[in-house]
Amino acid sequence: MTEDATIVEPGEERESFEELVKHTHSANELDTSAPPVLTVENLRMYFPIKTSLMRRTVGHVQAVDGVSFVVPKGGALGLVGESGCGKSTTGQLITRLYKPTGGSMTFEGHDLASISNREMKPLRRDVQMIFQDPYSSLNPRHTVGSIVGAPLRVHDVVPKNKTLSRVQELLEVVGLNPEHYNRYPNEFSGGQRQRIGIARALALQPKLMVADEPVSALDVSIQAQVINLLQDLQREFDIAFLFIAHDLAVVRHFCPEVAVMYLGKIVEIGDRESIYANAHHPYTQALLSAVPDVKQAATGGRRERIRLTGDVPSPIDPPSGCRFRTRCPIAQEICARHEPPLLQIGKRHKVACHFPGRLGEHPREPLTARLLGVDASGQPDPGASPATDLVEQPGYADTWFDLDGKTIGRA
């Protein structure tokens, strides 16, 4: 299966369109029965801001602030959002490039958030990362063989005399010529370099790959090659992906489940259908409507869209209450006073909004007021009894709040 992804060199005998199609994939599908491989709960990362002279901490960049999600075994969770939303930091926390400020990340019975760097070392084999920039993430002075072989040597997984043959095997798997192991990265194109990075990540047969914008630096025609390769590998080796990208369409194709982040928080999370066809958060809706659509060519001109004004606020001093309220088209008083809880509103769909609803059908009254024990404007309501179980849980509960019927839904 995998060697079919090999780049056909110009001049070689080539495959017909039907054969080409056979080696590609349609969108990945969700397997709801898969057990979790990674469970992240209330993950937080605050970077301190220090003054120059006294090194006194004067504030924090709340890069990630209470994020919870589950990555199923062999599955893929997409993390989308605009720059500065904390999606890349989340990925870096999972590979423990930083030690998180708080929360837990349970992987194979270990909490990656609290173990020491030494305890982390054996686990690094199982959690690998693919980087965005195929130019700066490969050492230009090392041969491809030594780049791909480095993790094998560091973790001592194959005997020294077998390293080369394993490296060649890996190069073949990612569609590169195995004879090219002694070449240097600058002899390869961007797409081929990204394949080298993937081969390196693959060397230790990880269970989880964190792919941070793996295709955004590549030419359009090459992006599809790499996505298909990742799909091949995922199926063959049963690797779970945390797929971080700003390109909503690519994420939709690769990830059966998606979390949308804004200013360090997840605002909406759910399966593909819930996010792309049934988004209930105004930010998700705005993101989706902002993506230019090729099909628009049929009618000409631009679609009606939700126009967000201004820029993302600073994560040093995020807005009170709901962090999206400063750019939100439907924000009301309560949004400044209370942070909306991430409510489950479908079997696999959660949204953090006081006024969740389909586009144009957002309710007038905050649905969350009763749960929070406040009135519609967010003032304390002595008559209401706040719900106590609003703590965010990773994964989904069996019961949820059905918005259409205003009842409790059940799986």
* Residue 2 or 24 with smaller CB distance to another protein: 24
CB of 23 to another protein, least distance (A): 9
91 or 175: CB nearest another protein = 175
Least Å distance, CB 122 to another protein, is 36
Closest CB to another protein among residues 52, 388? 52
Going from the C-alpha of 290 to that of each of 246, 267, 276, 331, the distances in angstroms are 12, 17, 13, 19
Cα gap 385→382, rounded to integer Å: 8
- Least separation in angstroms between CB 275 and another protein: 10
Q: What is 355-368 written as a DSSP string?
A: S--STT---SS-TT
As measured in angstroms, the least distance from the Cβ of 408 to another protein is: 29
Shortest gap between Cβ of 16 and another protein (angstroms)? Answer: 6
Closest to another protein by CB, 105 or 286? 286
CA proximity to 27, closest of 362, 186, 256: 256
Residues that bind another protein (CB under 8 A): 7-11, 14-18, 20-21, 24-27, 29, 52-53, 82-83, 189, 191-192, 219-225, 227-228, 246, 248-250, 252-253, 272, 276, 286-298, 300-303, 305, 307-311
Q: By the 8 A CB rule, do 362 and 355 touch?
A: yes
User: Residue 88: beta bridge partners?
Assistant: none
The secondary structure element, H or E, covering residue 151 is helix 144-154
Q: Beta partners for 43?
A: 67
Of residues 128 and 192, the one with the C-beta less far from another protein = 192
Between 34 and 290, CB nearer to another protein: 290
Length of the chain in terms of residues written: 411
Q: Quote the least distance from Cβ 27 to another protein, whole Å.
A: 4
**Phi-psi label, residue 264: left if phi above 0, alpha if psi -120 to 50, beta otherwise:** left
Give the separation between CA 382 and CA 395, rounded to whole angstroms. 33
CB of 87 vs another protein, minimal distance in Å: 12
Q: How far apart are CA 390 and CA 371, in angstroms?
A: 8
- The total of other beta-carbon atoms located within 10 Å of residue 297's CB is 8
Residue 142: phi and psi, rounded to 5, are -105, 145
Instruction: Please give the span between the terminal C-alpha atoms of the chain, in angstroms, as a whole number.
Output: 37
Report yes or no: 31 and 72 within 8 Å, Cβ to Cβ: yes
Nearer to another protein, 122 or 329 (CB): 329
CB of 273 to another protein, least distance (A): 9
337 vs 349, which CB is nearer to another protein? Answer: 349
276 contacts 349 by C-beta, under 8 angstroms: no
Closer Cβ to another protein, 298 or 408, answer by number: 298
Q: How far is the CB of 407 from another protein (least distance, A)?
A: 29
Closest by alpha carbon to 69, among 320, 280, 269? 269
